[in-house]
Structure 1
Amino acid sequence: MSSDPVREVADAYVRELARHEPDAALAFGLVARPLPDLSPEWLVAKYELQGATLPALDAAGPGDEMLRAALRERLERERLLFDTGFTPRLVAGLATPVHLVRYALEGRAVTADAAGEAVLATLEASPAAVREYISSLRWARDHGDRFTGGGVAPVRQLDTLASQVAMWAESDWFGSVPVVGDVDAATRARARAAADEIGVALAELVGVLRDELRPVAPTADGVGEAVYADLAAGMLGARIDLDETYAYGWSELQRLVSEARDLARALGGSGDDPVRATASLLDADPRYRLDCVTAIQAWLTRRVRETIDAVAPAFDLPAAVRDVECLVSEAATGVVYYTPGAPDGSTPGRVVWTIPSGVPVAATWQEVTSVHHEGVPGHHLQFVLTASYPELHAWQRHLCHIHGYAEGWAHYAEQLADELGLIRDPAERLGLVLGQIWRSVRIVADIGLHTGRPIPPNALVPEGEWTPELARDLLVDLALVEPALAGFEVDRYLGWPGQALAFKVGARLWNEARAAHQDRLGEAFSLRDFHRDALALGPMGLDPLRALLAR
């Protein structure tokens, strides 16, 4: 039991979370339910719990002041996300509650041991979790007047999720969770029955999305200036100047496009679009081309392992950083993503490369920067390092997930990888710059689509008004994003307002803090020490992080 009054408040908060959220239970070494509580009752109770914890936190005597600052910011901002309606009505093409149900089973198998029984328990809990999510969506609709952004997600998001969930049901994705080894017939029958019931629940969700919510959903995608500012603050953990950030995004976009064109010409590209011409050459180059799932997975595993070895001079690496799985999923999205390991170590962190089903071809030159972002020195390294700091409270080590902090670090890590020599040739550097262009488009498109800001005078696109089609075209034309993935990306921006800012806005803070630290220390500056000391502060919103890094 902690004698620190701030930690006592945090302990009480996490213990209540643990009754409903598996990660909180595992962080405290408690028995965890298979899946999070997705019911409207818990949505409301958690909001009230956060409201009650804030005054308790402020009233606590002197104690862990970094924890107090981090927890206060997160409680306030999570309540703000609720007040906009974002959390209760959450429907999007990525990371909604129903996606979390699927992610809990990604890459796992039912086996004849305790781990396999846990997977089976998750399968059997999934239908109820889907139905809890349905109840929450109905509750948000019925209480829409209390939310500044309304209680039903826009039509585009409802249609996107309905199509995804219908595809999961039609393909029997949950029924494809492997049952392997010496598993008895009764267990196999339980797995099959659970998958069948999940299919029924998913069909119910599709019906709710299409038949109940769509008729009352807004057709406009943008949320407007005031709601967007609140959502961006929640995603970043900071209030930002939207005009200045919008201008910064345009400046970065033009700078990076010019750099990409120079690199492409040096690599042999010519014509009106030297970047695309160079990309075609590189995609066909056997040095970079991978032609099957086995080859993609082998390259991904090898590159992550080699990168872990290469970053050692810049970090104090815990042994757990090598506990990472590299998976390939034919999920038809084309993105690389990371899922952290369980707080109790029962599952490792995973870097997952998704490829369109039936198209098992990839070009490594453009994906190296995604590997650095999702793996090392990006998300995987940051999560493992955070979990290794015993002085941090369990809430900060395992439960404090803030887009501005995590995505900002991972985007900073992309450029750091280049500094550390992990970008091996000009082709991979072109891939790095294209990734940075992608994140710059995110800034201008996200702010423009949601707030209605006009397109300023620039050398890349005519002045005018934002549309989803224009945002997709910028991703395709400037960042060479595949058209289907570009459409998915823009739908994501529209479904998660403000989240797209986290990458470059967060990285900007990390770079500014590092530069200021280096100016103060001069020749005594050590990159390894900066990373150790900065990451030891633990995850937190960008506002308190900025204040602490400036000390």
Structure 2
Amino acid sequence: MKKSLSFCFVLFILVSCKQETENKSDLIKEKFNTLLYNFSKDSYELYPEKATNAGIDGYNDEYPNSLSDEFNNKVKACYTKYKNELFAIPDSLLNDTEKMSKSVLLWECDINLEALTFQKKIMPIDQIWSANLDFNQWASGTTSQPFNTVEDYNNWLKRVDAYLVWLVSAKANMKKGIQTGYVLPKSLIEKVIPQFEVLVIGDVENNLYYSPVNLFPDSFTQEERDKLTKAYKNMVANKIIPAHAEMVTFLKDEYLPAGVEDFGIAASTPLGDRYYSHQIKKYTTTNMTADEIHQLGLNEVARIRSEMNAIKEKVEFKGDLNAFFDYVRTNKDLMPFRERSQVIAFYDSIHNEMKPQLDKLFGKQPKTPFEVRRTEPFREKSAAANYNSGSLDGTRPGIFYTPIPDVETYNVFDKEDLFLHEAIPGHHFQVSLAQENEELPAFRKTLWYSAYGEGWALYTERMGEELGLYKDPYQYFGMLSSEIHRAIRLVVDTGLHTKGWTREQAIQYSLENEAEEEASIISEIERYMANPGQALSYKIGQLKLIELRERAIKALGDKFDIREFHNQVLETGCIPLQLLENKIDNWIAVNK
């Protein structure tokens, strides 16, 4: 009888302990999910522009002064708080998706806290990456800033006022930069000035910021139209034009004369080598050194040149590879368009050509709609083709923008791979599938790591033949041209910022190794000068994805399923490369 009672008591204790453990686990999971929810909410409050781009209402009238000390203190407090809270969550009580979310958020906290240790905010404006250019895109009324209701139109007026506060801070910070040595190279400042001038010249009705007036919904009453028209005229005439005119004067009279002659971030500013190392880590999500990346670039350029030579011989071109570059750049047969609408139709035809093959390579495909559009004229001359993601709810489509400043010189030799990269199955698949994945916490649906996102897009360019494209050898050469372009980036970006290369030296190296036009190459080199390290992300990410695919094929043999491999990669959303590698290795181990 005593033994029976003892056994029951022990069993009771075991059951109670198990129940206590399960309750504790549930509480930890609830705490963790609350943490992730709060981080998403706090990040939208810090960066309301992210909410707008994701199609989340409630933030469309806000624009923080990200150049202020107050804002930086808020950012530091936010990431420090969540980093500390994450350390209190034991991995043992989390499932695989939750562990991944914890690891990603820790990375996000660390890289953002590290960024705050540099005085980059006193160099706030450049020709391609700065906040004013993103804000100008909203002003067109055709992107993610909504203009569907009277409230939407009033929200934009409030947001413009907040943006003008940012612009005043930008000018003040640039003045500090002149005094302390944080100034752009002259060649970049010369590209910035026209971007502000275009918002000063011409009639109010033709100003970019007046554009939403031409987009009034039919539901607006005449009284509402008249009131908003008056408000927008006042905003353009008395706020936008004077503020940008003032910036033009400052840029011409003060900033340009102070512009530096050096071209690398370490040599030309006090940011130094440590900042470039930070940028490498930020954009490649690796611990690679500049020297390792430089040598990898040299090796890749040599490999791809060999493949390009094979195409040159296939089309029976007489001359060396550099002569073939010139031939491709200037071949009028590769510039067939006379109307911009023909360019859009050309991309639609690429999409239709590969649709039958997509099911063979992708088990999951996005529901978010997709469109091809011409890049807005105000930024067309200095912009590259790009993708703007759809809204989280799928009501706003993903958009592939292509600049067509001169339709008669629009060369198609590299445009099939461009569509794969910027559109389908590149950025549109990667971004939309992450946004549509209900298992991901909200913050991971809009997170962006360039090594993953751009690496995936470049990886898809190599899939052209699998998708029924590159039947024309010139299109395959175009894919190689795009790939060598990214390999060249590894060489020239590290060359500019760690090896003392000049702008002209970097331009010449590019001209000797790719078929891009000189004007385009100059814009590219100046892009690397403005944002060190970003250009490294494409090739580093692509090579890691190729490595992981080959590793899986070798390990799994007949069990390898390309559709499932792509599912494994895409279902995670953007994550650092080491976390992706760990995930694929685990998938291989389970299936082996």
Give the TM-score band, short-chain normalised: 0.7 to 0.9
- From 447, 450, 459, the counterpart of 1:412: 459
Change (3 A) 1:116 1:494: farther
Q: Return the offset for 1:305.
A: 4.7
Distance 1:268 1:189 in 2: 64
Q: 1:80 aligns with which of 114, 117, 126?
A: 114
2:236 aligned with 1:195: yes
| Residues 366 and 429, structure 2, Cα contact 8 Å, conserved in 1 | no
Looking at structure 2, the residues matched to 315 and 91 of structure 1 have their Cα atoms a distance apart, in angstroms, of 40
For 1:434-485, what per-residue CA distance to the aligned partner results, in whole angstroms no more than 9, with x for missing partners?
1111111111000011001xxxxxxxxxxxx622112222333432222222
Match of 1:37 among 56, 64, 67: 64
Q: Secondary structure of 1:419's match?
A: coil
- Report what 1:455 is aligned to: none
Aligned match of 1:340: 389
Query: What amino acid maps onto 1:422 in structure 2?
Result: L
Checking the alignment, whether the CA contact within 8 Å between 2:486 and 2:538 is kept in structure 1 is yes
Report SS of the residue matched to 1:365: coil
Q: Is the 8 A contact 1:110 1:178 kept in 2?
A: no
Instruction: Check 1:291–1:442 CA distance in 2 against 1; reply closer, same or farther (3 A cut).
Output: same
- Name the SS of the counterpart of 1:407 in structure 2: helix
**Counterpart mapping for 1:276-291 below 5 A:** 276=325, 278-279=327-328, 282-285=331-334, 289-291=336-338
2:428 to 380, 388, 392: 380
Which one-letter code corresponds to 1:201 in the other structure?
A: A
- State the match for 2:347 in structure 1: 300
Question: How far apart are residue 14 of structure 1 and its match?
Answer: 1.9
Preserved contact between residue 325 and residue 348 of structure 1 (Cα < 8 Å) = no
1:12 partner letter: N
Are the structure 2 counterparts of residues 261 and 15 from structure 1 closer, same or farther at C-alpha, using a change threshold of 3 Å? same
- Aligned CA RMSD, in angstroms, stands at 3.2
- Alpha carbons of 1:5 and 1:72: their partners in 2 closer, same or farther (altered >3 Å)? same
Deviations 1:58-78 (A, max 9, x none): 122443110011111112112
**Per-residue deviation, residues 283-325 of structure 1 (Å, max 9, x unmatched):** 325xx61222111122223433544553222113445243334
Q: Does 2:169 match 1:135?
A: yes
Pair 253,177 (structure 1): closer, same or farther in 2 beyond 3 Å: farther
Letter in 1 for 2:464: A
Q: Which moved more, 1:162-171 or 1:388-397?
A: 162-171
Query: Going by fraction, where is helix more abundant, 1 or 2?
Result: 2
Residues 112-156 of structure 1: CA distance to partner in whole angstroms, max 9, x if unpaired? 9725863664366235314314415635865999xxx97554444
Which structure 1 segments of 5+ residues have no match?
453-464
* Separation in structure 2 between the aligned mates of residue 531 and residue 99 of structure 1, nearest angstrom: 34
Measured in 2, the distance between the counterparts of 1:388 and 1:229 equals 34
Q: Please, what TM-score do these two structures have when normalized by structure 2?
A: 0.81
Q: How far apart in 2 are the matches of 1:110 and 1:379?
A: 17
Task: Decide whether the 8 Å contact of 1:109 with 1:180 is kept in 2.
Answer: no
**Which residue of 35, 39, 42 corresponds with 1:16?**
42
Pick the structure with greater CA Rg.
Answer: 2
- State how far apart, in whole Å, the 2-side matches of 1:281 and 1:485 are: 14
**Aligned residue identity for 1:162:** I
Counterpart-to-counterpart distance in 1, 2:544 and 2:550: 10
Q: How many residues align?
A: 532
Q: Structure 2 counterpart of 1:76, which letter?
A: D
What is the distance in 1 between the residues matched to 2:104 and 2:240?
A: 38
Residues 1:2 and 1:267: Cα distance change in structure 2 (over 3 Å): farther
Counterparts of 1:510-529 in structure 2 under 5 Å?
A: 510-529=545-564
Q: Which one is further off, 207-216 or 516-525?
A: 207-216
Deviates more, 1:20-29 or 1:243-252: 20-29
Please point out which of 111, 119, 122 is paired with 2:156.
Answer: 122
CA distance in 1, matches of 2:122, 2:581: 30
In the alignment, what sits opposite 1:326? 373
Aligned to 1:402: 449
Taking structure 1 as reference, are residues 479 and 174 closer, same or farther at Cα in structure 2, changes over 3 Å only?
A: farther
Aligned residue among 400, 412, 416 for 1:351: 400
Cα distance between partner residues in 1 of 2:522 and 2:496 = 14
Q: Name the counterpart of 1:427.
A: 474
Distance 2:251 2:117 in 1: 22
- Match status 1:251 vs 2:299: yes
Whether the 8 Å contact between 1:293 and 1:328 is mirrored in structure 2 is no
For residues 235-291 of structure 1, the C-alpha deviation after alignment (integer angstroms, 9 at most, x for no partner) is 222221322221110111122223223312322422244423541675325xx6122
Inter-partner Cα distance in structure 2 for 1:66 and 1:500: 26
Q: Distance in 2 between matches of 1:328 and 1:80?
A: 34
Take 2:347 and 2:534, find their aligned partners in 1: how far apart are those partners? 27
Tell me the residue number matched to 1:170: 201
CA distance in 2, matches of 1:256, 1:88: 40
1:99 to 110, 118, 133: 133
Contact 2:62–2:158 (8 Å) recurs in 1:
no
Q: State how far apart, in whole Å, the 2-side matches of 1:113 and 1:44 are.
A: 33
- Corresponding position: 1:204 with 2:246: yes
What TM-score results when the alignment is normalised by the length of structure 1? Answer: 0.87
Please say if 1:57 is aligned against 2:69. no
Name the CA shift for 1:305/1:165 in 2 (closer, same or farther; >3 Å).
farther
Give the superposition deviation at 1:493: 0.1
Q: Superposition pairs for residues 438-517 of structure 1, below 5 Å? A: 438-452=485-499, 466-517=501-552
Report the CA distance between 1:101 and its aligned residue.
Answer: 0.2
Corresponding residue for residue 47 of structure 1: 76
Secondary structure, in 3 states, of the residue corresponding to 1:179?
A: helix
Instruction: Report the CA distance shift for 1:243/1:392 in structure 2 as closer, same or farther (over 3 A).
Output: same
Change (3 A) 1:528 1:34: farther
Counterpart of 1:71, as a letter, is L
Which of 509, 517, 540 is the matching residue for 2:575? 540
Q: Find the aligned partners of 1:351 and 1:110 in 2 and give their Cα distance.
A: 14
Partners of 1:175 and 1:191 within 8 A in 2? yes
Q: 1:228 deviation in Å?
A: 1.0
Distance 1:473 1:144, change over 3 A: closer
Cα distance in 2 for residues equivalent to 1:397 and 1:91: 28
1:462 corresponds in structure 2 to none
Q: 2-side partners of 1:166 and 1:431: how far apart?
A: 35
**TM-superposed deviation, 1:215:** 6.1
SS in structure 1 at match of 2:214: coil
**Contact map agreement 2:344 2:372 (CA 8 A) in 1:** no
Secondary structure of the structure 2 residue equivalent to 1:303: helix
**What is the rounded CA distance, in whole Å, between the counterparts of 2:443 and 2:332 in structure 1?**
44
CA distance in 2, matches of 1:268, 1:100: 45
**Are the counterparts in 2 of residues 111 and 179 from structure 1 also a CA contact under 8 Å?**
no
Aligned pair in 2 of structure 1 residues 470, 89: CA closer, same or farther (>3 Å)?
same
In structure 2, the residue matched to 1:549 is 584
Change (3 A) 1:222 1:314: same
Partner residue, 1:457: none
Structure 2 Cα separation of the partners of residues 281 and 6 of structure 1 = 58
Aligned CA distance change for structure 1 residues 321 and 428 (closer, same or farther; 3 Å): farther
Please state how far the C-alpha of 1:386 moved relative to its aligned partner: 0.8
CA–CA separation in structure 1 for the residues paired with 2:329 and 2:184: 39
CA deviation vs aligned residue, 1:493-527 (integer Å, no higher than 9, x gap)? 01110001001011111111111122221110011
